[in-house]
């Protein structure tokens, strides 16, 4: 059954503060986006990858991805992540109208091991219509009000930090985006609004999102220590 991957990569990377959009920032000699797409292809089952790129960097992104092969397509992203995913999904449906599984994977989670991609795909193929990789939360999390005063402490044992790729049947992802009113920080959030169950599989520390200069330094150090561009686990 055919798997397509949608890669939202159109963000400006404001918290990273680099001169270029975050997807183009190099780590270990290559842009984050190249690491991310290569990682998806390394999982083995992904037929098409559709990247939603910053609209003013389409040519640069296409040139970077050409060496990865004809299965990788580039479209212009939107003003927020949800809209970027929606545009990539629309394009994917034209490249691969028979696709059964859609993965949505942040370019910013550039070092996600292929094993995580495979466990998400396998769980969807095994019958779960929506699957997300998660990690236990190690910090205690507080809920605060607008003034910053603590109003509650959720039970940490029931909290999870959510990563990507998130996997869905194409039909469900399409319905979730069609019904979406306003943006969400992840696609599972849109699926939850439909009342659909979202399953979890174990994530991985390397699937961390590169958000700040500190995250970038951590990724650089991890890759330098590993001596490779992409961990295959
Ligand atoms: N993204 C996107 N289109 C947007 C905004 C974000 O495709 N209009 C993508 C980013 O490129 C990233 C993923 O969504 O791969 C997660 O977003 P985030 O980490 O917040 O990246 P940025 O929005 O680029 O960063 P910042 O919020 O610091 O500006
Ligand atoms: Mg953002």
H or E segment at 135?
strand 130-136
CA end-to-end span of the chain, whole Å?
23
Ligand 1 nearest-atom number relative to CA 85? 7
Distance (Å) of CA 123 to CA 38, 106, 138: 21, 19, 25
Is the pLDDT reported for residue 183 higher than 90? no
| Residues paired with residue 101 on neighbouring β-strands, in sequence order | 3, 169
Does the pLDDT of residue 231 top 90, yes or no?
no
Question: How confident is the model at residue 180, as a pLDDT?
Answer: 86
Does the Cβ of 15 fall within 6 Å of ligand 1? Answer: yes
**Ligand 1 within 6 A of 17 CB?**
no
- Which atom of ligand 1 is nearest to 23's Cα? 11
CA–centroid distance, 81 to ligand 1, in Å, is 6
State whether the beta carbon of 8 lies less than 6 angstroms from ligand 1.
yes
* Ligand lying closest to the C-alpha of residue 52: 1
Say if residue 230's pLDDT is above 70. Answer: no
**Residue 227: pLDDT over 80:** no
How do beta strands 130-136 and 199-202 pair? Answer: parallel
* Residues forming beta bridges with residue 144, ordered by sequence position: 150
Dihedral sign for Cα atoms in the order 175, 170, 107, 72: negative
Does the pLDDT of residue 187 top 60, yes or no? yes
CA of 127 to the centre of ligand 2 (A): 31
CA of 126 to the centre of ligand 1 (A): 30
Residue 55 CB contacts under 8 Å (≥ 6 apart), including other chains: 10, 76, 77
pTM of the model: 0.96
Mean per-residue pLDDT over the chain, rounded: 95
Cβ < 5 A residues, ion ligand 2: 11
């Amino acid at each position: 059954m055919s798997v397509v991957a949608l890669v939202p990569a159109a963000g400006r990377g404001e918290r990273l503060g680099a001169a270029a959009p975050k997807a183009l920032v190099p780590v270990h000699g290559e842009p984050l986006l190249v690491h991310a797409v290569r990682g998806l292809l390394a999982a083995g089952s992904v037929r098409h990858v559709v990247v939603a790129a910053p609209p003013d960097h389409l040519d640069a992104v296409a040139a970077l991805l050409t060496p990865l092969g004809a299965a990788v397509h580039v479209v212009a992203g939107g003003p927020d992540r949800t809209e970027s995913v929606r545009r990539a999904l629309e394009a994917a449906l034209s490249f691969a109208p028979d696709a059964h599984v859609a993965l949505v994977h942040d370019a910013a989670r550039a070092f996600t091991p292929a094993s995580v991609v495979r466990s998400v795909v396998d769980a969807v193929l095994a019958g779960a219509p929506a699957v997300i990789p998660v990690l236990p939360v190690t910090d205690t999390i507080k809920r605060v009000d607008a003034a910053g005063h603590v109003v509650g402490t959720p039970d940490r044992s029931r909290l999870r930090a959510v990563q990507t790729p998130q996997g869905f049947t194409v039909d469900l992802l399409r319905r979730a985006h069609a019904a979406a009113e306003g943006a969400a920080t992840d696609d599972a959030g849109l699926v939850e609004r439909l009342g659909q169950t979202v399953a979890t599989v174990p994530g991985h520390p390397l699937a961390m999102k590169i958000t700040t200069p500190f995250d970038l330094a951590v990724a650089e150090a991890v890759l330098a220590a590993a001596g490779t561009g992409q961990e295959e686990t």
